[in-house]
Amino acid sequence: MKMDPVLEIPLLEAKLVAEMESDMVDNDMVQDLKQKIGDAKTAAEFGVRRAQLQFYEAFASGDYEAMADVWSKKHPVSCVHPCQNRLDGYDAVMQSWKNILAVPGLAAATSFKSDDDDDDDDDDDDEYSFRIEPAKVQMEICGSTAIVNCVEQTGSEGASPLEAVNIYKREKGNWKMTMHMAAPVIAAMM
């Protein structure tokens, strides 16, 4: 069975250091190890970015099943919603998301109309669903754990951005969320 390339990074790095410190450096091996490390780090970053995108798409679309798929079922999980106490455990966290995503009118309260939509229909079919997008994303991958800091922007008029931290762990070759924390950004007092 082939090892997860992301989990191989520390082993490859240790081999690289050992090879570079040896009396007879094999330059071909050094280059091969550097290439494998670079490829694994790139794959890890793309995987974390995909998991991050899946989380925010599930949130924005109100898709509970997609949200449940983002979260780890193997590792302990926790979540801190804005101005709320920490929730621990998969069941408590998923119940909170079920409650949030089921709020009637969430999409309508935060929806957008297209600037070029000039039809006069009275129905709400032209409204977009809730939008939330991460900005100012910073990512740190440490072995099988990834820490992502970002600012969540909803685009809702008058809505304050939220500072967020998302933590992901490797699970069967994929990145799964183990912690989400969001807090309102308060403008600095002058």
pLDDT tens column, 20-62: 998 899 999 999 999 999 999 999 999 999 999 999 999 888 8
Which H helix or E strand runs over 99?
Answer: helix 90-101
- 3-state class (DSSP) for residue 34: helix
Q: Which of 26-30, 88-92, 117-121, 180-184 has the lowest mean pLDDT?
A: 117-121
Spatial distance between the Cα atoms of 174 and 50, rounded to a whole number of angstroms: 10
Q: List the strands of the sheet with 78-80, edge to edge.
A: 87-88, 78-80, 174-184, 162-171, 145-153, 133-142
> Which segments within the chain are labelled E, that is strand?
78-80, 87-88, 133-142, 145-153, 162-171, 174-184
Spatial distance between the Cα atoms of 100 and 189, rounded to a whole number of angstroms: 31
- For residue 74, the number of C-alpha atoms closer than 13 Å in the C-beta half-sphere is 11
* Stated pTM of the model: 0.79
- For residue 174, the number of C-alpha atoms closer than 13 Å in the C-beta half-sphere is 15
For residue range 52-101, list pLDDT tens digits in order.
999 999 988 889 999 999 999 999 999 999 999 999 999 999 999 999 98
- Asked if 93 and 178 touch (Cβ cutoff 8 Å), the reply is no
pLDDT (0 to 100) of residue 185 = 84
